Amino acid sequence: MTPTLQILRAGPQMTVQDLGRPALTAQGLATGGAADRTALAEAAALLNLAHFPAAIEMAGMGGEFAVTLPTRIALTGAPMRAKVDAKEIGWKQTHLILPGQRLSIGGALSGVYGYLATAGGIATEPVLGSRSTHLVGNIGQILAAGDGLILGPDPTPNAPTVRITPEPRFSGGAVRMMPGPQTGLFEKAELARFLASEFARGAASNRQGVRLEHGGAPFQAGEAAGLASDFIAVGDVQMTGDGVPYVLLSECQTMGGYPRIGTVIGADLSRIAQLSLGGRVRFTLISVEEADRLYRSPAQMIAEAKSRVAPLVRDPSEISDLLGYQLIGGVVSGRDEEEY
């Protein structure tokens, strides 16, 4: 039997996401992929994978799922309330889901994007080297009730349950930004005012970008206004015509005419993507050399996440249930959201 993840109910924006399609800028296609790559690295670490998996990204709200074969899953990213049948289960850990069980994932408790990854990965046909849905690029589609996703087989369904200490990123904080091609064209005083301001997530935010609201006057682009359309990097902080900053995420356009005051480094972009409505961010400008030193390859991201994985301490009386393919879970649920 082909292992399949059945979608019984779908939240409004559930899509398959991996690391996307790099190096297609010349063709006008942004890399795309998961809005929170740290969450994919944490899923890879939990499931002991060597590569970033394709996983289901759930914006704000999850759905209901079933499997056709015993399948280990990892739940990462924005913590969401999760249940197997009637029993609450913990986030940021692995679980074994059995055929006949119903996995329900609710709304985000903090942050925005939650992820459901399976140990054998999603095995749908890649398009241009990736399984990521790219809505702007018209590749793939939003998942809906009734869809079935072919999975790779779980090589070790009996592997012990593990949990991860997530990188804190759901309530804002300091975000590091490096200079970009237009940073030097902004007035120094305006750049200083930007760096001194505190921002909240605007409602008009999605996988293309996060709008940032603050109490002060709009930002002036100075000499950076009226330039030729030029390339955009993921993480660019773009000043729209009305002086409101947007941080561009994985599904942004590849070129544009609005000036950009800097580029958020990869390590901190998840903090922007996951910024909760009540959270606040502040930017610090670092040098190009420091930004380059802070680069982490996908393999380094997974290795770092693996260092935060630990076995789940559980009641030994439940071990026999595990061997009998009964679900272990709920041991840590609902009592450690403060860690986020």
Partner 1 sequence: MTGPKAQTPAYEILPLGQDCVLVRFARKPDLSALSAAQRFRAVIAGQQHSEITEVAPSLASVLLRFDPGATPRARIEVIVQKALAELGPDADLPAPTRRWHLPVAFGADAGPQLAEAAALAGLTQEAAVRQMVEADLRVLAIGFAPGQPYIGLLPDNWNLPRLSQLTPKVPAGALVVAVRQLVLFCNDSTTGWRQIGQTGFRPFWPHSSTPFRLEVGDAIRIEHVSQMDLAALAPERTEGLGGARLEKTR
Using the contact rule CB under 8 A, the part of the chain among 76-84, 145-153, 188-196, 260-268 near partner 1 is 260-268
- Shortest CB 244 distance to partner 1, Å: 17
| Least Å from the CB of residue 256 to partner 1 | 7
Q: Are 265 and 291 in contact (CB under 8 A)?
A: yes
CA–CA gap between residue 90 and residue 141 (Å, rounded)? 29
24 near partner 1 (CB under 8 A): yes
The correct pick among 4, 197, 253, 333 for binding partner 1 (CB under 8 A) is: 253
Closest-CA residue to 308 (of 121, 93, 95): 93
Total of chain residues touching partner 1, rule CB under 8 A = 44
Site for partner 1 (CB under 8 A): which residue of 70, 153, 157, 181? 181
Q: Distance of CA 233 to CAs 30, 44, 221, 327, Å? A: 9, 25, 18, 43
If one asks whether residue 29 binds partner 1 (CB under 8 A), the answer comes out as yes
Is residue 94 at the binding interface for partner 1, with CB under 8 A as the rule?
no
Asked if 247 and 272 touch (Cβ cutoff 8 Å), the reply is yes
313, 150 Cβ separation under 8 angstroms: no
- Judged by CB under 8 A, the chain residues 291 through 320 that form the site for partner 1 are 291-292, 294-295, 297, 300
Q: Which of residues 69, 109, 123, 139 is near partner 1 by CB under 8 A?
A: 139
Residue type, 234: V
Residue 22 as a binder of partner 1 (CB under 8 A): the answer is yes
Whether 239 and 259 have beta carbons less than 8 Å apart is answered as yes
What string marks each residue from 203 to 242 as x (binds partner 1 by CB under 8 A) or -?
-----------------------xxxxxx-xxxx------
Q: How far is the CB of 92 from partner 1 (least distance, A)?
A: 27
Q: Does residue 263 touch partner 1 according to CB under 8 A?
A: yes
Nearer to partner 1, 2 or 300 (CB): 300
Question: Which residues fall within 8 angstroms of residue 220, CB to CB, at 6 or more apart?
Answer: 186, 187, 190, 243
Does residue 136 belong to the site contacting partner 1 (CB under 8 A)? Answer: yes
Residues 264, 237 contacting (CB under 8 angstroms): yes
Does position 249 interact with partner 1 (CB under 8 A)? The reply is no
Q: Any alpha helices (H) in the chain, and if so which ranges? A: 37-46, 188-196, 266-273, 288-293, 298-306, 319-323
Residue 266: Cβ-neighbour burial (10 angstroms; 0-12, 13-18, 19+) = middle
Site residues, partner 1 (CB under 8 A): 22-29, 127-128, 134, 136-139, 178-181, 185, 226-231, 233-236, 253-256, 263, 265-266, 288, 291-292, 294-295, 297, 300
